[in-house]
């Protein structure tokens, strides 16, 4: 029963993605019938094969719409602001060539795989900080920082409000 | 609408060129990843956003297709670029390239403790 | 609207040429891989811009596939540099 639910959910998600891909292909600006047929067959096959793998590590709680709304707020709010600010900072460093690099270590206290991936991607997407490695056992992050002000910093000093958002969205 | 497209195109071109210059100016692999990959990701996001706005402004079947494809390309760039640069940086560190004039290197210390 | 979009694409082509300098002189293999990754991102953006400028929706599809395939290629090169491949 659980396997069937997993496969069905994956199939429905894949079908929705296919609909997004093939929008505006039909005669009235909607989907053409053969596109719908191809998408249905693909969704059946992919859902049946990949379904049990997708939800293996407790991914069910990621489906809640509240998390997705929070994610969108995060994406256009604090994340875009931090990314623009860091980009201007790195642009200034490109022109002047003033850098002080180093690899620092800190622990943001995230427990789940998805939370760690989320935080690592956020850190890597903002220039000036780059995740090199994550210790699976302790959850320590190793981050290459372009302007080291403190050799053993706290999580807030490196990436600002990101860990709190990662805890809210992904944990 | 067209002002928005001009602004997005200008920001995109500026940051892409800055990323390319950063690739030449910075001294080692890690700082080059900072400059090049991130700046070009930011610039490409704005270039692709310009096309999405152009598609929406144009409307109709073709404009809608363009907007949706551009938006999907943006999502792929946002998902794949940090993962790729993270993999490259970790591979560089494991193949023994030292960070240039580093103040600290905690990963090297952790490796010596025997993980 | 053709001229500004094509001009943006041409600026990206200029950036690609600058990246190719690093691709050819880069002292280590990792430097070359980073330059290649940067070029891939720029090619995707340039394809999207030219596809919009010249009304070729096919180019946007190609850009999507190129983005995914170049990502797989980058991961493969990273695995090779790490020494994970036989």
User: pLDDT of A93-117, one tens digit each?
Assistant: 888 877 788 888 888 878 788 888 8
ipTM value of the model? Answer: 0.85
φ/ψ of residue B93, rounded to 5: -70, -40
Tell if the CB–CB gap between B84 and C55 is shorter than 8 Å.
no
Calpha distance B23→B34 (Å, rounded): 9
Residue ranges covered by each domain of chain B: 2-112
Residue that is written with structure tokens 């890690």 in the block: B30
CB atoms under 10 Å from CB of A52, counted, come to: 13
CB of C24 less than 8 A from some CB of B: no
> How many domains does chain A contain in total?
2
Query: According to the model, what pLDDT value does residue B111 have?
Result: 64
Range of the domain at C26: 2-82
pLDDT digits (tens, 9 = 90+) for C21-67: 888 987 888 889 889 999 999 999 999 999 989 988 888 889 999 99
Do A72 and A143 have their domain in common?
Answer: yes
| C-alpha distances out from residue A83 to A70, A89, A93, A163, Å | 18, 10, 15, 15
Chains with 3+ CB–CB pairs under 8 A to B are A, C
Tell if the CB–CB gap between B13 and C51 is shorter than 8 Å.
no
Mean of all residue pLDDT scores within chain B: 83
**Token pair for B108:** 């090297």
B64 touches C53 (CB < 8 A): no
Do A71 and A47 have their domain in common?
Answer: no
Do A66 and A52 have their domain in common?
Answer: no
> How many domains does chain C contain in total?
1
The alpha carbon of residue B101 is apart from the nearest alpha carbon of chain C, in Å, by: 17
Range of the domain at A78: 62-170
CB atoms under 10 Å from CB of B98, counted, come to: 13
| Residue of A17, A88, A95, A130 to mutate for B, most B C-beta atoms under 10 A | A130
CATH of domain B2-112: 1.10.287
**Token pair for B29:** 């692999």
Do A11 and A25 have their domain in common?
Answer: yes
Do A98 and A33 have their domain in common?
Answer: no
What is residue A73's three-state secondary structure? helix
């Amino acid at each position: 029963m659980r396997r069937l639910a997993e496969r069905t959910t994956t199939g429905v998600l894949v079908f929705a993605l296919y609909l997004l891909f093939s929008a505006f292909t039909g005669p009235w600006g909607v989907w053409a019938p053969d596109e719908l047929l191809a998408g249905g067959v693909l969704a059946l096959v992919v859902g049946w094969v990949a379904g049990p793998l997708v939800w293996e590590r407790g991914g069910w709680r990621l489906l809640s719409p509240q998390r997705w709304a929070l994610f969108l707020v995060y994406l256009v709010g604090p994340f875009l602001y931090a990314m623009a600010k860091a980009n201007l900072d790195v642009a200034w460093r490109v022109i002047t060539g003033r850098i002080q690099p180093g690899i620092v270590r800190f622990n943001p206290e995230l427990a789940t795989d998805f939370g760690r991936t989320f935080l690592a991607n956020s850190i890597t997407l903002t220039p000036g900080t780059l995740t090199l490695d994550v210790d699976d056992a302790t959850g320590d992050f190793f981050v290459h920082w372009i302007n080291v002000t403190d050799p053993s910093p706290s999580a807030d000093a490196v990436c600002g409000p990101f860990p709190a958002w990662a805890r809210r969205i992904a944990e | 609408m067209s002002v928005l497209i001009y602004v997005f195109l200008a920001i995109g071109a500026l940051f892409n060129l800055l990323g390319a210059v950063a690739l030449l100016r910075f001294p080692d692999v890690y700082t080059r990843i900072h400059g090049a990959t991130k700046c070009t990701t930011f610039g490409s996001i704005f270039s692709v956003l310009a096309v999405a706005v152009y598609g929406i402004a144009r409307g109709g079947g073709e404009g809608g297709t363009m907007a949706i494809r551009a938006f999907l390309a943006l999502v792929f760039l946002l998902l794949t670029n940090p993962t790729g640069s993270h993999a490259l940086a970790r591979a560089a560190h494991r193949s023994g390239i030292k960070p240039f004039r580093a103040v600290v290197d905690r990963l090297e210390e952790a490796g010596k403790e025997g993980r | 609207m053709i001229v500004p979009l094509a001009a943006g694409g041409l600026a990206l082509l200029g950036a690609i040429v600058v990246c190719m300098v690093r691709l050819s002189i880069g002292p280590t293999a990792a430097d070359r891989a980073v330059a290649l990754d940067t070029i891939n991102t720029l090619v995707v953006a340039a394809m999207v811009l030219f596809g919009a400028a010249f009304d070729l929706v096919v180019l946007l599809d190609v850009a999507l596939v190129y983005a995914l395939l170049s990502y797989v290629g980058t991961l493969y090169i990273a695995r090779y540099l790490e020494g994970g491949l036989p």
